[in-house]
Amino acid sequence: MSAISQSEPVRPSVSLKEVRYEIRGELARRAHELEKVGYEIIKLNVGNPGNFGFRTPETMRLAMIENLGASEAYCEQKGIFPAREAVVMQQQSRGVPDVTADQVFIGNGVSELIDITLRAFLNPGDEVLLPSPDYPLWTAATVLNGGRALHYPCRPEAQFLPDPDEVESMITPRTRAIVIINPNNPTGAVYDRERLEALAKMAERHRLLVMADEIYDRMVYDDAEFVPMATLVHDTLCATYSGLSKVYRACGYRVGWVSYSGESPNTKPYLKGVELLAALRLCSNVPGQWAVQTALGGFQSIEELVAPEGRLHRSRSAIVEGVGNSKYLDLVTPMGAMYAFPGVKAEALPAFDDHQFALDLLEQKHVLVVPGNSFNVPYKNHFRMTTLPRQELIAEVFERMEDLLDSYAHA
């Protein structure tokens, strides 16, 4: 048997071929290199509140500290009971009566739970309906777990909202689940009740598992209404995902949860599969779980931040103003979450390329954004930026963007 050549590369798994996560990818690595040689980079690629001066509510920190003595051992694989019961109480207060603590799983953030719940569900070739644009972890987890991603369009000209009839037309005999991200990342769209009701009825007709990513549930602006999907899905299984990272500004705590509701025959084997995978990773971070009950049951400070005079609302308004003052940019005003998804007008810059723009913006203007086509869309004239910075910094960012776009126009 011949020896392996020393020059033979260590090859990654072929399963990674279709996996994309540019949010922390090539451009983010280049930003880190620039920082190491002394440049100050304005990082708008990640929705990380702690990097922009937001703090986790003090009551949550105290709850975690006071229970550190009870956090040194592994907990039950589903999570500590007070945290799971707090999720049940929140769901019940929203009109979801059929949730019990046994149907709630706590994870190391929603990201881990997306992977676990898809892995327990999918067989090779099973199809999952995903929004386009999407949060790319959903597509990656679908592919890595043997599934096939079917992207239903949420077009800019339709305010990034899906057409339920078009979504239903994509269903095949292999389609087993639909993912709904509301409020939406990356677009900031908030789905209206009528649209969600139509999607719920569609899922019930086809016995699809509804996977509702609602991590930004309380982060809505102006007259937008957040409607929990679990209140509309009754005759099929619904999984609701949320956590402490965004609304409660506790990204580093790594605490998320998924709760199951709705009726579907014979779901116990699937839920046992989820529990098995939860057990294989032993348990999620225990100290952070003690903050869940305080977070969900206490004063909701996010409401002040998204109110018209609140910091998040003012920052969002600064982005709307920055786009409005641009000769090149257009925007569907985000009604929720902590992102905006501006587009470049085709008539102004017909040769615009989102990846090249993001690279030039980083290299020349020291601002990091995420190219739009990283979110599984067929076009290349959008980019995502977080709405977390203060107004003054956002105004500076748009001045730098406009300068770069001017250079494109006059090249």
Give the CATH number for residue 344.
3.90.1150.10
Task: Pick the last residue of a domain from 297, 327, 346.
Answer: 297
Mean pLDDT by groups of 10 residues along the chain of 411 residues: 66 79 88 96 95 95 94 95 97 92 96 97 97 96 96 97 98 98 98 98 97 97 97 96 97 96 85 96 95 93 96 97 97 98 96 96 98 95 97 97 96 81
Task: Pick the last residue of a domain from 281, 297, 313.
Answer: 297
Same domain, 318 and 221: no
In the chain, the number of structural domains is: 2
Same domain, 147 and 194: yes
Q: Is residue 4 part of a domain?
A: no
- Beta-carbon contacts of residue 34 (< 8 Å; ≥ 6 apart): 41, 362, 363, 366
Q: Is residue 1 part of a domain?
A: no
Which of helix, strand or coil describes residue 337? coil
The pLDDT of residue 4 = 57
Q: Is residue 9 part of a domain?
A: no
Same domain, 267 and 390: no
Omega into 228 within 30° of 0, i.e. cis? no
Contact 341, 382 (CB under 8 A): yes
Give the CATH number for residue 117.
3.40.640.10
The pLDDT of residue 16 = 80
Q: Is residue 316 part of a domain?
A: yes
The pLDDT of residue 97 = 83
Residue-number span of the structural domain to which 271 is assigned? 58-297
Same domain, 183 and 281: yes
Q: Is residue 8 part of a domain?
A: no
The pLDDT of residue 263 = 79
- Helix or strand (DSSP H, E) at 209: strand 209-213
Same domain, 37 and 118: no
The pLDDT of residue 7 = 72
407 class by beta-carbon count within 10 Å (0-12 exposed, 13-18 middle, 19+ buried): exposed
